[in-house]
Amino acid sequence: MAVRINIVHKRQAVSEALKLCLFFSNYEEIEIFQTPVDLLRAFRKNDINLIDTEVIIPFLNEQTGDIPFSLLVTSESDAHIAEALYGGATSFINISKGPAQFVSQVELIAENKVDEPSYIIRNFLLERLALSNIVAPVDYHLTKKEMQILKMMRDGKHLKLIAYDTNTSYETIRTHVKHIYKKLGVVSASEALIKAMKMSL
């Protein structure tokens, strides 16, 4: 296929193994990077970017920009999946399920197909987290715009789509999200969404 696949993983051996799987599946242009920052310097518009959950989280809000990426995980209960999906990840791939499943997931990404498991598990994780410590609604003094954005996040829209749907720049949406985090007293998208669910938005 005429597409380059970029792999960023904490462990070099894992990156090489994933590259080997893809090489024997007719994906021949495959690059390995040590950090998301290295990837940022080299990525191209139509690249498929696969990034390990352990290295993406520190760069999620400030470094990834408009780069589409999918998350590499070894467990579907990884606590960072929901945060990464809401932070802009298009999907996640559980690499512990074997080479055939891994290659199949990459093919879906290459074909721009909707990844239902990512959508389903994202909502499952958030619902499970929201079941504990349910409290009475609190007035966090969010503006109408902030409430709208938080509700759209709760509905599964990532920030780029929210910007498009509201005819607002991506940077402005990010600024609103920072204000939302501050008012809610949280530091991540997953925490904000749990509070949103408790607020019955």
Sign of dihedral through CA atoms 56, 57, 63, 64?
A: positive
pTM: 0.61
pLDDT score recorded for residue 140: 82
Rounded average pLDDT over 139-153:
88
User: Which top CATH class is 5-129?
Assistant: alpha beta
Taking the C-alpha atoms of residue 193 and residue 76, their distance in angstroms, rounded to an integer, is: 19
DSSP string for 130-196: HTSS----------HHHHHHHHHHHTT--HHHHHHHTT--HHHHHHHHHHHHHHHT-SSHHHHHHHH
Grouping H, G, I as helix, E, B as strand and the rest as coil, residue 2 is: coil
Q: Give, in degrees to the nearest 5, the angle at Cα 130 between 114 and 154.
A: 40
pLDDT of residue 176 exceeding 90, the answer is: yes
pLDDT tens digits, 31-76: 999 888 888 888 888 889 999 988 876 666 555 556 788 889 988 7
7 and 50 in contact (C-beta within 8 Å)? yes
Rounded average pLDDT over 174-201:
81
Rounded average pLDDT over 148-168:
86
pLDDT score recorded for residue 127: 67
Rounded average pLDDT over 12-23:
92
The DSSP letter of residue 50 is E
pLDDT of residue 1 exceeding 90, the answer is: no
Lowest-pLDDT range of 60-64, 79-83, 147-151, 172-176: 60-64
> CB neighbours of 22 closer than 8 A, spacing ≥ 6?
5, 30, 103, 106
Alpha helices for 4-111 (secondary structure H): 12-23, 36-42, 53-56, 81-87, 99-110
Taking the C-alpha atoms of residue 36 and residue 52, their distance in angstroms, rounded to an integer, is: 9
- CATH tag for 144-198 (out of 3.30.200.20, 3.90.199.10, 1.10.10.10, 3.90.209.20): 1.10.10.10
pLDDT tens digits, 92-143: 899 998 998 899 889 888 887 756 666 676 666 666 665 554 444 567 889 9
pLDDT of residue 168 exceeding 70, the answer is: yes
Question: Between these two residues, 8 and 135, which has the higher pLDDT value?
Answer: 8
Rounded average pLDDT over 142-146:
92
- For the chain, the domains span 5-129, 144-198
